[in-house]
Structure formats: C-alpha cells, structure tokens
C-alpha cells in the first residue's frame, strides 16, 4: 500500500499536505483528542476562547505558558523532516497545518500555512501589534508597549481563521491533485473541509493516522501508521523510485 502511495506522490503535479496535532505527538507534544488528549484533562471553554481570556486571563496565560514551554523545547521528528525533504525535492507545494507549534519550520519547511496561528506570536489585544517570541513570557500577564494585555497569537474557539490565510489554504487545496492528511482527527472546521475540495476536483486523498477518522470514508488510501514511520518510509521509497 505504501509503495502505491509513493508512486502516486511521484506522479502528482500539485501535492499539498494538511497536518494536525498527531504529527507532533512523536515529538512529545500532547494532542487534543483521544486517550491522553488535552481536551480530556482541560476544558476548552475555560482556556481557549475569547470569553475565557476576558474572564480569567491569568489562568489562560498560565496554560499557554505551559504549552509554550513544551513546544519551544520540542524537536521535529521524522515526519516533519520528511515534509521538509519533499518540499526541497520540489514535490510538496504547500503544507497547511492546524498546529500552533513551529516544528515544520524547525525541520526546514518554508511553505507553511498556519490555520490556527502560532505560539511564537503574541498579539496586542488593543493596538494589534505582533511580537515574535522564542521563550514563554515571564510576566503573569504580559503587556504591550501601549499598556494593553498581550494574548497568544492563536485562533481560539469562536474565532475565525484570518481571511487571507484561509483564502490561501482554499486556493492551494483547489490546485491539489493529491493531498496527504497526517495526524488530524478531521473534526474541526473549516480545516476538515479542505480535503473535500481536493476530492471534489477528483484529486487523491491519502490519510496517515493510526485511528479511523471522519475522513477515512472519502480517503483513497488510509495508512494506519504513526506519522514518523510512514512519512520516513514514503520519502525513502520516493528517493529510490
Ligand atoms: P486532534 O488531537 O483532534 O487529533 C489528533 C489526531 O492524531 C488523532 O486522529 C490521532 O489518532 C492522531 N495521531 C495520534 N498520534 C499520531 C501519530 N503518532 N501519527 C499520526 N497520527 C497520530 O488534533 P487536530 O486534528 O490537530 O484547534 O485538532 C484540530 C484542532 O482542534 C487543533 O488545531 C486545535 C484543537 O482544538 C485550535 O486550537 C483552534
């Protein structure tokens, strides 16, 4: 099966990828859903919504600083490296990720669209100024130069993906004749609809996930493997062909 996928990738003209938290699981970053998922231990509505931040910014900041610590110390795994290699080989045209970690960039990927923002960015709640960080802020409540509260540069539940990012993602999905979907439960919209655009245009959908997802039904091939193992094998096969 994996050999077939390698051939399909080589034959594709415009390959894109959609990644989710599962691709970073082997780097030690917890996923959101499933047995050890963050949403089993924490309530999203108390931590990842605009109203949570209005009501208890200290608690929200505490949680994000904990996640920043994990993410900033994490290293890319074989799957992130494989995608960077596919981009270098000129095969992968755009990588669309729901992840707020920077492991794709750390692996060397350049063409990355972050649908849900990034933990590397802080944004002012008043003047909208953006700051790039490489370690968690030390203050309990980090403030902007203008005096207003800073917030993590991520998209919370109830917020929309910035329109220019979503437009780009839809554009690349529309151009794709093959999309590889790795490590996402495919339940959060609009990200989960991007593969449907590819399907509608008669493109191929390849899923890599140890578990079945709502996407499995429409995927042309589902590899029930971990991201690192599958992606590393795929790149090696492509290099041999
Ligand atoms: P989820 O946590 O919902 O799903 C992770 C998926 O990864 C599951 O389908 C797992 O089976 C799979 N998985 C686990 N380990 C894996 C491995 N080693 N290799 C491959 N797959 C593996 O994560 P997302 O789908 O990314 O939103 O979640 C989507 C969004 O929901 C996130 O971006 C976040 C969250 O709430 C926001 O923060 C706005």
Verify whether ligand 1 is closer than 6 Å to residue 219 (CB atom).
Answer: no
Ligand 1 close to Cβ of residue 207 (< 6 A): no
User: What is the structure's pLDDT at 203?
Assistant: 98
State in Å: Cα 173 to ligand 1 middle.
Answer: 20
For residue 100, the model assigns a pLDDT of 98
Beta bridge partners of 150: 124
Give the Å distance between the CA of 88 and the centre of ligand 1: 26
Q: Is 16 in the pocket of ligand 1 (CB under 6 A)?
A: no
pLDDT, residue 230, reads 98
Helical ranges in the chain per DSSP H? 2-11, 38-41, 44-47, 50-55, 57-73, 78-88, 103-107, 163-175, 194-200, 227-240
Question: Looking at ligand 1, which atom is closest to the CA of residue 227?
Answer: 19
Give the model's pLDDT for residue 35: 83
Backbone angles phi, psi at 155, to 5 degrees: -95, 125
Tens of pLDDT along the chain (241 residues) come to 999 999 999 999 999 999 999 999 999 999 999 888 999 999 999 999 999 999 999 999 999 999 999 999 999 999 999 999 999 999 999 999 999 999 999 999 999 999 999 999 999 999 999 999 999 999 999 999 999 999 999 999 999 999 999 999 999 999 999 999 999 999 999 999 999 999 999 999 999 999 999 999 999 999 999 999 999 999 999 999 8
Q: Which residue in 80, 104, 114, 116 is the catalytic one?
A: 116
234/82 Cα distance (integer angstroms): 8
Best residue among 30, 52, 121, 184 to mutate for probing ligand 1's pocket (most ligand atoms within 8 Å of CB) is 184
**pLDDT value of position 36:** 87
Chain centre distance of CA 25 = 12
Residue 76 is predicted with a pLDDT of: 98
Angstrom distance (rounded) from CA 130 to CA 105:
19
Q: Is the CB of 19 under 6 A from ligand 1?
A: no
Distance 127 CA to ligand 1 centre (A): 32
Asked if residue 30 has its Cβ within 6 Å of ligand 1, the reply is no
| Beta partners for residue 207, in sequence order | 181, 222
Annotated catalytic residue 172: no
Give CA–CA dist 236/105, Å, rounded.
21
pLDDT at residue 196, as a whole number = 98
Pairing verdict, β 112-114 and 117-124: unpaired
Of 17, 18, 19, 20, which is best to mutate to test ligand 1, by the most ligand atoms within 8 angstroms of its C-beta?
A: 20
- Categorise residue 51: left if φ over 0, alpha if ψ from -120 to 50, beta otherwise: alpha
68 vs 63: CA distance, rounded Å? 9
- pLDDT given at position 85: 98
pTM of this structure: 0.97
């Amino acid at each position: 099966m994996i050999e077939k996928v390698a051939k399909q990738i080589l034959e594709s003209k415009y390959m894109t990828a959609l990644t989710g938290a599962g691709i970073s699981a082997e780097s030690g970053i917890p996923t959101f859903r499933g047995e050890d998922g963050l949403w089993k231990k924490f309530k999203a509505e108390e931590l990842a919504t605009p109203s949570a931040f209005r009501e208890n910014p200290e608690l929200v900041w505490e949680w994000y600083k904990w996640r920043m610590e994990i993410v900033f110390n994490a290293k890319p795994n074989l799957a992130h490296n494989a995608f960077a290699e596919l981009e270098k080989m000129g095969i992968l045209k755009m990588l669309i990720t729901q992840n707020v970690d920077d492991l794709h960039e750390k692996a060397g990927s350049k063409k990355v669209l972050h649908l849900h923002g990034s933990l590397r960015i802080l944004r002012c709640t008043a003047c909208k100024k953006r700051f790039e960080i490489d370690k968690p802020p030390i203050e309990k409540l980090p403030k902007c130069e203008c005096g207003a509260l800073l917030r993590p540069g991520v998209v919370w539940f109830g917020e929309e993906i910035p329109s220019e990012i979503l437009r780009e993602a839809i554009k690349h999905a529309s151009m794709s004749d093959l999309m590889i979907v790795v490590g996402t439960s495919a339940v959060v919209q609009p990200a989960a609809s991007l593969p449907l655009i590819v399907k509608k245009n008669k493109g191929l959908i390849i899923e890599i996930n140890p578990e079945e997802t709502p996407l499995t039904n429409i995927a042309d091939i589902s590899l029930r493997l971990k991201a690192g193992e599958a992606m590393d094998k795929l790149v090696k096969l492509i290099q041999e062909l």
